[in-house]
Amino acid sequence: MADFHQTGVISTLHRLGSPDLVRLERELLSYSTERPVALVLPCLYSELYGPALKGIVDQLKGVPYLRQVVVSLSGAADRTQYDEIRALFQDLRTVDGQSPTVVWNQGERMQVLVGRLRAEGLDPGADGKGRATWLAYGYVLAAQVARVVAVHDCDIRDYRRELLARLVYPTANPNLSYEFAKGYYGRVSDRLHGRVTRLFMTPLLRAMKSVLGPLPLLEYLDSFRYALAGECSLTTDLVRANRIPSDWGLEIGVLAEVFRNSSLKRVCQIELVENYDHKHQDLSEGDASRGLHRMVVDIAASLIRNLASYGVEFEAGFLNTVTAAYVRTAQDAIARYSDDAALNGLRFDRHEEEVAVETFSRALRVAGLGFVRDPMGAPPIPNWSRVVAALPEFLDDLRSAVDADEEEAG
pLDDT per residue as tens digits for the range 270-287: 999 887 766 667 888 888
Residues of the chain with pLDDT below 70 are: 1-2, 277-280, 410
Question: How far is 21 from 166, CA to CA, in rounded Å?
Answer: 9
Q: Are 140 and 70 in contact (CB under 8 A)?
A: yes
The closest of 262, 377, 356 to 309, measured between CA atoms, is: 377
Q: CA-CA distances (angstroms) from residue 277 to 15, 49, 70, 94, 268?
A: 18, 17, 23, 26, 23
Q: What is the pLDDT of residue 275?
A: 76
180-186 vs 148-151, strand pairing mode = unpaired
User: Residue 382: CB partners within 8 Å, gap ≥ 6?
Assistant: 122, 123, 124, 243
pLDDT for the residue numbered 248: 82
Angle at which helix 108-119 crosses helix 394-409, to 10 degrees, equals 170
CA angle 79, 85, 90 (to 5 degrees): 115
Please tell me the distance from the alpha carbon of residue 246 to that of residue 267, in angstroms, as a whole number: 23
Does the model's pTM come out above 0.85? Answer: yes
Domain positions in the chain: 11-409
Angle at 14 between CA 10 and CA 15, to 5 degrees: 160
Q: Cα–Cα distance between 60 and 96 in angstroms, integer?
A: 15
> Residue 294: what pLDDT?
92
Q: How many CA atoms lie within 13 A of 362 on its CB side?
A: 15
Q: Phi and psi for 243 in degrees, rounded to 5?
A: -95, 140
Question: pLDDT value at position 410?
Answer: 64
pLDDT for position 1:
47
- C-alpha–C-alpha distance, residues 192 and 11, integer Å: 26
Residue 174 burial (10 A CB sphere; 0-12, 13-18, 19+): exposed
How far apart (Å, rounded) are the C-alpha atoms in residues 223 and 169?
20
Spatial CA neighbour of 257 closest among 302, 196, 207: 302
Q: Which residues contact 378 (CB under 8 A, 6 or more apart)?
A: 125, 245, 246, 247
Fold entry, domain 11-409:
Spore Coat Polysaccharide Biosynthesis Protein SpsA; Chain A (3.90.550)
Vertex 399, ends 393 and 405: CA angle to 5°? 135
Pairing mode, strands 232-235 and 37-44: unpaired
Cα-trace Rg, the chain: 21
